[in-house]
Amino acid sequence: MLAIVAAMMAVISCGSQKEAPKVLVLYYSQTSNTKTVAQEIATRLNADIEEIVPVKPYDGDFQATIARCGQEREQGIIPDIQPIAADIAKYDVVFLGYPIWFGTYAPPVAAFLEKADLSGKKVVPFCTFGSGGLESSVKDLAEKQPKAEILPGYGVRAARMAAVPKEVDQFLKAGGFIEGEYTQLEDFPEQHPASEEEAAIFDAAVEGYPMIHAKASAVASRTIPGGVEYLFSAVDLPREGNQPAPATAEMKVYVTVLEGETPVFTQVVR
């Protein structure tokens, strides 16, 4: 009798276990930065992975790529991509990765989204960028796939690729995709006018980056593991000579200062 009861309990227990969601990591990468993030995610989740491949690759240098992308945007051209081998319908969660071009996901990802149906799926965006673009690309993604559940995303500057393993680990744990301890950061407090010392931290973080020519106006800070993170509000300064004016006048700039290291900005939100 005990053996029968034990067997029945085992069957009930197995039947009550929830099947793990099926995960696909799908990405486009030109310089291999996004590919690095995609492989890190796929490895940690033991997920399927596939690359979005344009029929005509963007294989030029930075200026050539920008020129081609700009021309396609002006003419409303969406590049052709190779057929996706994975059966998207079989997956519950799709991690979608891309570099940020012109403030949003690169055109090959736009081509995928043009024909794909992600309705009812959880979509986790991740991206690489020079300065920022996660928020704007997520907004565009939500508009393109309104029936998908867009979850919080992950973005990293190309200059900070060494931080990817640690940050992806924390990101996946915070999202409940893998188990383990992670640091839950407090919200930033209300901003206050930036002092000279705080403004100097901002200047040091953006020094040498040609796309940011701005002055810190306000700031808030919070403690992070190993240091401090700042959220600056900054105002664009006039450009010298014939340099083009910035697209917008204000921005948010995230800056981290780890113990013993120089300030570095992690993301710009315009």
Query: CA 140 to CA 119: how far, in whole Å?
Result: 15
Angle CA 115–119–123, to nearest 5: 90
Determine the structural domain holding residue 253 and report its residue range: 192-240+247-269
Whether 75 shows a pLDDT value over 60: the answer reads yes
Angle CA 199–234–229, to nearest 5: 60
Assess whether 162 and 206 both reside in one domain: no
Whether 208 shows a pLDDT value over 90: the answer reads yes
Assess whether 144 and 222 both reside in one domain: no
Give per-residue pLDDT as tens, 97-147.
999 999 999 999 999 999 999 999 999 999 999 999 999 999 999 999 999
Assess whether 33 and 151 both reside in one domain: yes
Assess whether 164 and 263 both reside in one domain: no
How many domains are contained in the chain? 2
Assess whether 114 and 146 both reside in one domain: yes
Handedness of CA 137, 148, 79, 26 (dihedral sign): positive
Assess whether 251 and 121 both reside in one domain: no
Whether 13 shows a pLDDT value over 70: the answer reads no
Burial profile 149-161: b = 16 or more Cβ within 10 angstroms, e = fewer: ebeebbbbbeeee
226: left (phi over 0), alpha (psi -120 to 50) or beta: left
Whether 3 shows a pLDDT value over 60: the answer reads no
Q: pTM, whole model, 2 decimals?
A: 0.89
Q: How far is CA 201 from CA 90, 114, 162, 238, in A?
A: 48, 42, 22, 21
Query: CA 165 to CA 67: how far, in whole Å?
Result: 32
Whether 61 shows a pLDDT value over 60: the answer reads yes
* Average of per-residue pLDDT across 65-75: 91
Strand order across the 192-193 sheet: 192-193, 214-224, 227-236, 250-258, 264-269
Angle CA 119–179–118, to nearest 5: 10
In a domain, 10, yes or no: no
Whether 170 shows a pLDDT value over 80: the answer reads yes
Assess whether 224 and 138 both reside in one domain: no
Q: What is the CATH number of the domain that holds 136?
A: 3.40.50.360
DSSP structure class, residue 90: G
Question: Please, which residues have CB within 8 angstroms of residue 83's CB and are 6 or more apart in sequence?
Answer: none
Strand partners, 104: 101
Assess whether 33 and 89 both reside in one domain: yes
Assess whether 136 and 77 both reside in one domain: yes
